[in-house]
Structures are given as structure tokens and as C-alpha cells.
């Protein structure tokens, strides 16, 4: 008998997880970027690879783009290419961290010329959104300082708010701004948007179309991320997730790899707070595959999210509430642990087969011959990678 009820399976059928275009390019450590045969050479090939993930899992119908990494001459043609492959174009990610002018800041810079350049870049990103039909502009800023006294921190916050106001004013009626945060790196004394509170304060001052992006790897060790999820859902300001994992500092590993229980706890709060299959809360991956193959890495990632979502849906809410109200600490904890320890993989494999999908998408991709075929076809040109 399946461990998953028809109601849970129906809920899972609506789940959608956005893939990052950059996950299909070459990436690596700070010391080396490792190329692989068959790596996409342009955004069209990135989307073709992303379509393989969706074809085998039915979990990943959209692809996020990164500007200028994914610039093309005709975004209408890129949009049609995606639609021909059963995909749509999703979040547009800006980039103000790879230009020489932005060495000491972009949206926070005291030099009005440089700040204007950074604002104009975001306005150009919204032009891309208009052409692709994308809803969300995601902003992550690698801005801050390395030494006490280096910058006027308050002045930078004021300039950031002014910059965001100008960007926000350009959004269409159905478009949103989501502001990501990261507690350090590459700025090690102070970061301009280091935590959810700063992101919340900045977007709350903008309006209803500005929300927080929560990257699951962007927190100090020991941070209760599910508490932040709860609070942002409670406040109506959780716009999106960037799912990934980190063991030490960087944050681009496969989601659920470092701490599957943490991912379960996060998704339990998502379910509790009404964030699952909520059009206002986007599920996205933000990962790079440094040593593993890229398409299988993305397949594994979306399956990890699906599996932990299924376990979160197994939480007996009535039993949990009763134990909480009775102050029965161990019983309440046991309700969560029973759901977490339930192996949902056989039930999900059976369910996938019933929908005409492979029971094991990883094995199906390995048997498809797609990787050796693209390695043979994608010879010449410049492979996409970090910064391209």
C-alpha cells in the first residue's frame, strides 16, 4: 500500500521548481573552473538541457535567466524556443558583481555615475522581463566593506533604498522585485543586505510588489531557517526560495545534501504557512555543479525537494496540534520524526510510472544517451560558464 494518499499525490502533482540556467554551464571553485564535454554554448542549449530535467520529472517547467550571462539578440526567439521544448522563461537575475566599476559597490555606491549605471542595468533587466514574459526580477548584491571605517554604512542603506525605489517604479503591474540576502562574502566586515531583516526592511518600504528571496545556504551555522520561513510567510513577504546546500561557507551544493532534515523542517513550515503551490512563493534552485554532471545534478535536486515535500505533507497536523496544546514535548517531536523517517521513494516511483514518467529519472537519463550525444554535437564555440 502506498504511503502517500491521493490527496498528497494530487498536491505534489502541482509542484513546480524553477531551474537556474547557470547550473548547466561550467563552474568550479575559486581556484579552477572545470569544463565538461557537451556543456551548453549559449542560452538556447542551456534551455534544451533544462528541458531534459522537466521531461523526466515533470517538476521543472521554468528556467531562470542571468543577465548579462544569458543575453541574446532576440529574447522573443529564446522564449519561443523554450515554449517549443515545453518550458517557459522565469526569473530574471541581475548582475552587478562582475564589472570593474562595481568594485566598491553598485546600487549603494557614492559615485552617482556608477550607481546610475547599476540602476540602468536593472531597468534593462526589466526590459528583458517584458520580452520573455517573466514575472520576477531577482537582485543579489555583492556589496559591503572589508574594514571598519571603510564606508558610511547608513549612507549606503539610504542609497540602496533610493536605487530600489527607482527600479521598483519601472515594474509592470504583474511584475515583482525579490531581494536576496547573504550574511557575508565577498564583503567580510559588513554586507549591505546580510540578513532577512534587512531585506524585509528594504522591500517593505517599496510596496506590495517587492518581496524577500530566501536562499537556504545564506545563513550562519545554527540559524533556524524554518523560523525565518514562518515569519516571512506570516508577514506576506516571502517571494521566493533559492534552494541549495552548504557545508561550510559557500552555498551552491545540491539541495538536501548537507542536511536533509533541515530541508524537511523548512518545507514543513512552508506547508504550515500556506506557501506550497502558492503562486506568490516561487520555488527555485540556485546551484552550480562543480564536479558532478549538470543535468543529473539538477534532476537529483528537484527530486530531493519533492521527496521532502512529500514527507512534510505526511505530518499529522491534528496529532501535532493536540500534543502541542497538551505540552507533550516528546509526542509533538515524534509526530515530526515519524513523517521525516517515512521512506516515500517507493511510493513516488510508483506514482511517476502511473503518470507515464520513469520510476527512476536518474537511471532514465543515464540510459537516454543525451550526454554523449551532446558531447559529440557541441564541439566548437565557447562553453557557457561562470561569467558567461
CA–CA gap between residue 138 and residue 154 (Å, rounded): 23
Q: Give start and end residues of each alpha helix (H) in 133-259.
A: 153-170, 196-204, 225-235
Residues whose CB is less than 8 angstroms from the CB of residue 208 and which lie 6 or more positions away in sequence, other chains included? none
pLDDT, averaged in runs of 10, over the chain (388 residues): 89 98 89 89 98 98 97 98 98 96 98 98 98 98 97 98 98 98 94 98 98 96 97 98 91 93 98 98 95 96 98 98 98 98 98 98 98 95 80
CA–CA gap between residue 156 and residue 51 (Å, rounded): 41
The domain spans of the chain are 10-377
* Architecture of the 10-377 domain: Alpha-Beta Barrel (3.20)
CA–CA gap between residue 177 and residue 173 (Å, rounded): 12
Please provide residue 207's backbone torsions phi and psi, each rounded to the nearest 5 degrees.
Answer: 145, -175
Coil, helix or strand at residue 245: strand
Q: Which of these, 160, 257, 258, 265, lies nearest to 203 by C-alpha position?
A: 160
CA–CA gap between residue 311 and residue 48 (Å, rounded): 31
Interstrand relation of 144-145 and 190-191 (parallel, antiparallel or unpaired): antiparallel
Burial class (CB in 10 A: 0-12, 13-18, 19+), 373: exposed
Residues whose CB is less than 8 angstroms from the CB of residue 290 and which lie 6 or more positions away in sequence, other chains included? 27, 28, 29, 34, 252
Amino acid at each position: 500500500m502506498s504511503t502517500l494518499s491521493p490527496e498528497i499525490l494530487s498536491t505534489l502533482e502541482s509542484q513546480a521548481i524553477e531551474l537556474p540556467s547557470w547550473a548547466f554551464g561550467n563552474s568550479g571553485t575559486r581556484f579552477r573552473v572545470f569544463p565538461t564535454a557537451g556543456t551548453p554554448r549559449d542560452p538556447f542549449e542551456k534551455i534544451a538541457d533544462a528541458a531534459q530535467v522537466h521531461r523526466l520529472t515533470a517538476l521543472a517547467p521554468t528556467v531562470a535567466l542571468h543577465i548579462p550571462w544569458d543575453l541574446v539578440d532576440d529574447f522573443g526567439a529564446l522564449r519561443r524556443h523554450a515554449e517549443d521544448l515545453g518550458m517557459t522563461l522565469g526569473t530574471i537575475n541581475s548582475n552587478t558583481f562582475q564589472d570593474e566599476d562595481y568594485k566598491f559597490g553598485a546600487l549603494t555606491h557614492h559615485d552617482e555615475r556608477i550607481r546610475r549605471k547599476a540602476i540602468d542595468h536593472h531597468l534593462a533587466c526589466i526590459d528583458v522581463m517584458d520580452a520573455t514574459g517573466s514575472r520576477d526580477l531577482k537582485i543579489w548584491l555583492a556589496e559591503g566593506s572589508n574594514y571598519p571605517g571603510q564606508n558610511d554604512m547608513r549612507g549606503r542603506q539610504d542609497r540602496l533604498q533610493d536605487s530600489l525605489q527607482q527600479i521598483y517604479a519601472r515594474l509592470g503591474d504583474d511584475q515583482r522585485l525579490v531581494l536576496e540576502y547573504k550574511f557575508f562574502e565577498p564583503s567580510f566586515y559588513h554586507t549591505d543586505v546580510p540578513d532577512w531583516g534587512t531585506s524585509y526592511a528594504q522591500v517593505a518600504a517599496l510596496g506590495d510588489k517587492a518581496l524577500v528571496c530566501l536562499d537556504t545556504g545564506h545563513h550562519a551555522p545554527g540559524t533556524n531557517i524554518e523560523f525565518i520561513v514562518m515569519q516571512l510567510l506570516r508577514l506576506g513577504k516571502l517571494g521566493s526560495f533559492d534552494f541549495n546546500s552548504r557545508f561550510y561557507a559557500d552555498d551552491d551544493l545540491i539541495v538536501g545534501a548537507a542536511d536533509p532534515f533541515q530541508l524537511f523542517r523548512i518545507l514543513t513550515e512552508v506547508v504550515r504557512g500556506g506557501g506550497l503551490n502558492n503562486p506568490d512563493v516561487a520555488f527555485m534552485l540556485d546551484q552550480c555543479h562543480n564536479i558532478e554532471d549538470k543535468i543529473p545534478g539538477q534532476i537529483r535536486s528537484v527530486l530531493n525537494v519533492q521527496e521532502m515535500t512529500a514527507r512534510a505533507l505526511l505530518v499529522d497536523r491534528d496529532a501535532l496540534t493536540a500534543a502541542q496544546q497538551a505540552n507533550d514535548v516528546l509526542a509533538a517531536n515524534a509526530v515530526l520524526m515519524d513523517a521525516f523517517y517515512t521512506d516515500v521513494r517507493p511510493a513516488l516511483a510508483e506514482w511517476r510510472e502511473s503518470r507515464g514518467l520513469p520510476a527512476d529519472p536518474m537511471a532514465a537519463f543515464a540510459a537516454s544517451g543525451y550526454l554523449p550525444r551532446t558531447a559529440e554535437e557541441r564541439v566548437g564555440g565557447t562553453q557557457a560558464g561562470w561569467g558567461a
